[in-house]
Every structure is written in C-alpha cells, then in structure tokens.
A and B are shown apart, each in its own frame.
Chain A
C-alpha cells in the first residue's frame, strides 16, 4: 500500500510528490541543481529563506496566478507551476 501522491508540472516537467507536500517541496525535488523560484529585479535567482510565508522569496506562478507563495501552497493534482518569472 503506497502513500497517495499528486502529479503536477513545474516549468513543463512532470513531478510526483506525496499528497500534502507543498509546491516549494515539489520544486525542490524536481531540480537536480539548486532550484530557482523567482528572480529579483536585477535578475538574481531567489529561493525560499523562511519557508513560512514571510520572506516572499519563493513566489511562483501557479495555474496562471502570479506571485503565489510556493511554501504555503499545497501541491494539487494537475497544477501547472511556472518558476523564474
């Protein structure tokens, strides 16, 4: 009996994570290298610092809605996540 999982797409790549995982965790597990969540105004990569919704560094576009905090969003089946905006 395996634990239930959800499937989502991160920048077009299919990712499978345990049910209940955050989008931030899904992004982190989807990347071989240091994951990129967003970019600063000057183009520098940004990634979660606090993991609890305060730092706003993990914002990504989820199902077309920009600036969603990945650390506070539970991954759902079929989500389309876009990073690096």
Chain B
C-alpha cells in the first residue's frame, strides 16, 4: 500500500512529461504503464513540433510548449532537427490566406514568412510545378517522440519516481487506483492514457482517429523542410469520416516520412490499402519524385480526440483528487511539455502561464 502525491497513469509523451515535471517540483510520483513506454500514439506520431493557428487556445498552448521543447534541442535521444515547416499553397485562395495566417501566428509570438513561388522552388526543387507559393516557419523542428518519452521517464525515475511498468490500472478508487494484480496505489491520480481515458473516466468522451504513415529508405537531400499543404487544417479539423492531407517530413537519417490520413470509426490496427493509396496519391500530387522511392515500412496509429478537438487538461470536476491530461489528437507531441506545465501548476495551486479555461475537462461534463 504505497502513497504518493501524484500517480500518473500512462507513460506516453504526455504522461512522462507530467511525471518528470512533478518530480522536479518535489512531488512523490508513481507512473503506471501497461504497455511499452511511449508505445501508443507517441510511437505512431510524426514528431513534428508545429504551431497550428486555427484555434487560439490551441495556438497559445502550442507556442508555450514549443518554447519548452528548446530544452531538448541538443539532446541526442530526441533526434531534434530544426528543419522548419514549409506550408505550400496549391490554390490561389490558399496563398491569399497566408498574410492572415502570418498575422495570427505573429500575435502568438510565432515568426512566419510568406514565400513566393520562385523561393518555394529554390527551397524545395522536388515540389510539383504550378504551386502558388507558401509560408515558412523556420524555427520549427521534428523530434523522435518515443525516445523522448523514455528519456523523460528516465529523468523522473532518477528523481525518485516509482515506475510500475507492465501493470494496468483497472479502476479509480476513492483514494487512489487499483491495478490488475489487485494492488492499490494511494494518492491523487492523473489519467494520461490518451484513447484509453474512457476505461477509467467514462464521463469524458474520447474517439480514436486512425492515421497511416509510411517511411522510406534513406534518400538524403530530396526534401529539406517539413512540408504540409495549407489545406491541411481542413483535413485535420474537419469532421469527415475520412480525409487525407499532404504532410511529408525529412528525418535526420535521410529517410522520408509520409502522411497523413484521418479516419473516425475504424478501430482495427490493420493498414487499409485503400486509405494508404489515397494518402500516397495526395503526397505524389505535391512531390511526384516520391513515386520512385522505396518504402520501408507502413504503420497505423490512433489519435485521442476529445469531443471538441481540444485536449482535456485539469481537474476532473466530478471526482475528488482526479486529474486528466489527454485528448490532444494530432498535437500531443507538440503540446506535451506545455500540457505538463499547465497541469502541474494546477495540481500545485499555482496560476498557469497560459489560460487553462479552454482545456478544463468540466466543459465535457455538462
């Protein structure tokens, strides 16, 4: 019967970030993870650290978190690569929207620059002819998320956290959590289990949004920036049952990571040939040279998606001593460190650096 100041359920990028910060703040922390550390959505993710400007609250959290990520800019395990994000415009209407996008980002402290067609092709000669231009966010980076999760857990453990690995939290109790071997941990609980949140907190709606990714062999120098179509947000934040968007990333190894797809209502992990074809056709439409490359591996993953697209971060209002940090959908890696700061500040009764209101779980308990 062990007692803690905070019991973190889930050792993905969000749970490990919260555990690491809680330990740094002097709390007695336990971490419970039934599977591999960073093995869920964290392992399936692209690891792109990106500011998305379509929701002001999400932008504030992203910007805050991007600043915190600088701490790992030279950590070998993070495989941090500041390739920058290059948003590309295929339609004139998309290109016309760039100045407004730059202004929204600037208001949040993110520096972006309009790129005309000539410069676009200087930056990325492999792009298909006929694009209008784009927008460059030069400071953005990519990381390798599962290794960062493992690193964060290592820091937490070195600071005294107890790690209960290979055990599943089966139920919250009045004073803690019960594990699948019948043992109990006593203390406030933080549920950071992503898609699995409803198993412990059925009052919080969560859907799994399936995605596919392809990684190629090493082809150094073909792509230089993380490339996304400016129509990406329409796919990411639309509510269509399935959508694809051009999203291609150069890995530090020279490999090329190709996304992205989104599907609601599909719960098997299998690669869907039809969805894969749609996704790749979209990528080929922007980068025809991808057709000639050899893919090495294809995998799927599930994004934890809340009822309104914003993560749940804060106290679970209808239960004592219960916290949640989950539902980040496609921005969990970007916002993990900011999420941890926002959550632990609230646990300690401190005023967070950004407004916690838009993320409070109570909005889902109406």
Residue ranges of A at the interface with B (Cβ–Cβ < 8 Å): 41, 59, 65-67
Contacts and interface: CB of A to CB of B under 8 A. Distances in A.
Contacts of B219: 66
B268 interface: no
A59 B217 CA distance: 11
B4 to A, nearest CB: 40
A68 B196 CA distance: 43
A66 B217 contact: yes
Interface in B178-230: 217-219
Interface of B: 217-219, 253, 292, 294
Contacts of A67: 217-218, 294
A59 B253 CA distance: 16
Contacts, number: 10
Nearest to A66: B219
A15 B219 CA distance: 27
Nearest to A65: B292
Nearest to A38: B218
B271 to A, nearest CB: 20
A65 B294 CA distance: 10
Nearest to A85: B218
Nearest to A68: B294
Nearest to A59: B217
Nearest to B252: A41
Contacts of A66: 217-219
A67 B218 CA distance: 8
Contacts of B292: 65
A73 to B, nearest CB: 14
B150 to A, nearest CB: 19
B294 A41 contact: no
A45 to B, nearest CB: 16
B217 A41 contact: no
A61 B217 CA distance: 12
B254 to A, nearest CB: 9
Nearest to A67: B217
A22 B361 CA distance: 63
Contacts of A59: 217
6 contacts: A41-B218, A41-B253, A59-B217, A65-B292, A66-B217, A66-B218
Q: 4 closest Cβ contacts across the A-B interface?
A: A67-B217, A67-B294, A41-B253, A66-B219
